[in-house]
Amino acid sequence: MTNTAEVTNIIRIGYVPEHFSTPLYIAKDLGYFDQLSVKVELVLCPGGTGEMTSKLHDKSIDLAIALTEGLVAGINNGQDWYKIVGTYVDAPLCWALSAGKNSNHSSIDNLHKTNVAISRYGSGSHIMAFVLANQQHWLKNNEKPFDFTVLNNFKAMRDAVNDGTSDFFMWETFTTKPYHDSGEVKRIGEITPQWPAFMFAAHTDLLRDNNRKQALLEVLQSIQKATALFIQQKEDESIKRVMDNLDYDEQDVRAWFKTVSYAKNHRHVSTEALQVTLETLEKADVVKQPIKTINDLIDVDIAILIE
């Protein structure tokens, strides 16, 4: 049985095993987390945002670094156990569309009414399919634009498009690129939404505890410090870190650094970005009326709203 005191003296951070998460490893390796009043544990979530919101629900993590659209949609659709507390990556995420290596699909145009492999319902790979359908004007007469197959992880999705179980999947472009380069799967397009890629979301239990809330501020400051170092060293050490951790090609890492932007203050949350996200998700029929207000999405004591 877990000791309650132990649980309240730890903040478990859920994250995806991608290049974006490298600052977390820096904070851990350089002892930034060791200097805090609370123990920090990193929890790998290969299933992405859907897995993290589930883990927030069952309290196996306290803080998630998850996709903006997944968090906004989740809260709007009744996931009331977490709130947004800050922004991690404020540049948009570019999603690659991939089909099987021998697939007849060669472009976005002929994907209507096909089967999409997704990690989980409510995940970015699920939500972005509706954003794609909205852009392509496929959301008409209450018809379903796609069928979905839930596969939990990235490898299973790649396997599904190759064995014909699914027609395509959507995943972050640089994470998918090595599999395009090797020929394992085929790139057939991309889509980039108009909002920050990743935000921080904390469990409401943590946010109701003043001591843990103060510890959360310390954690965000430590990640901020690690992020600043990561960007500062992007011409040498940081490139090597990403290459070593994820076996990425140097040229790809350098290209990614040209596109990424981390929030200069991890507590900042753009009201405009959240509004655009809400409006787009509503148009794509991912959230239903009435949509929540911006203040319903965030914790106003931690997040600092900006335009």
Q: Given 151, 172, 191, which residue is the final one in a domain?
A: 191
pLDDT band at 293 (very low <50, low <70, confident <90, very high): confident
In this prediction, residue 38 carries a pLDDT of 95
Q: Does 217 lie in the same domain as 82?
A: yes
In this prediction, residue 192 carries a pLDDT of 94
265-276 average pLDDT score? 95
pLDDT over 50 at 1, yes or no? no
pLDDT over 80 at 289, yes or no? no
pLDDT over 90 at 290, yes or no? no
In this prediction, residue 7 carries a pLDDT of 58
The tokens for 210 are: 């003043």
| Region of residue 48 (left: phi > 0; alpha: psi -120 to 50; beta: else) | left
Q: Does 186 lie in the same domain as 70?
A: no
The tokens for 68 are: 């903006």
pLDDT, tens digit, 9 for 90 and up, residues 183-220: 999 999 999 998 999 999 999 999 999 999 999 999 99
In this prediction, residue 291 carries a pLDDT of 76
265-272 average pLDDT score? 96
Q: Does 222 lie in the same domain as 183?
A: no
CA atoms within 13 A of residue 244's CA, in its CB half-sphere = 8
Residue 118 sits in which domain range? 95-191
Q: Does 284 lie in the same domain as 168?
A: no
Q: Does 103 lie in the same domain as 73?
A: no
3-class DSSP assignment, residue 124:
helix
Q: d(Cα 79, Cα 54) in Å, to the nearest integer?
A: 10
| Among 153-162, 225-234, 245-254, 279-288, the least confident range | 279-288
Q: Does 207 lie in the same domain as 79?
A: yes
Q: Does 106 lie in the same domain as 18?
A: no
- Chain length of the chain: 307
Query: Which residues are 268's β-sheet partners?
Result: 304
Q: Does 120 lie in the same domain as 35?
A: no
3-class DSSP assignment, residue 112:
coil
In this prediction, residue 145 carries a pLDDT of 92
In this prediction, residue 16 carries a pLDDT of 93
In this prediction, residue 2 carries a pLDDT of 44
Strand order in the sheet with 168-172: 147-150, 115-118, 168-172, 95-100, 185-191
pLDDT over 70 at 276, yes or no? yes
23-30 average pLDDT score? 97
pLDDT, tens digit, 9 for 90 and up, residues 92-109: 999 999 999 999 999 999
Q: Does 233 lie in the same domain as 186?
A: no
Q: Does 176 lie in the same domain as 202?
A: no
In this prediction, residue 247 carries a pLDDT of 81
Q: Are 287 and 274 in contact (CB under 8 A)?
A: no
112-141 average pLDDT score? 91
Whether the model pTM is above 0.85: yes
1-25 average pLDDT score? 81
Q: Given 172, 191, 210, which residue is the final one in a domain?
A: 191
CATH for 123: 3.40.190.10
Rg (CA), the chain: 19
pLDDT over 90 at 160, yes or no? yes
Q: Does 247 lie in the same domain as 118?
A: no
pLDDT band at 4 (very low <50, low <70, confident <90, very high): very low
Q: Does 229 lie in the same domain as 214?
A: yes
pLDDT, tens digit, 9 for 90 and up, residues 66-99: 999 999 999 999 999 999 999 999 999 999 999 9
| Among 6-20, 23-37, 182-196, the least confident range | 6-20
Number of domains in the chain: 2
Q: Given 191, 216, 240, which residue is the final one in a domain?
A: 191
Q: Which of 88, 73, 96, 52 is nearest to 288 (CA)?
A: 73
Strands 95-100 and 168-172: antiparallel
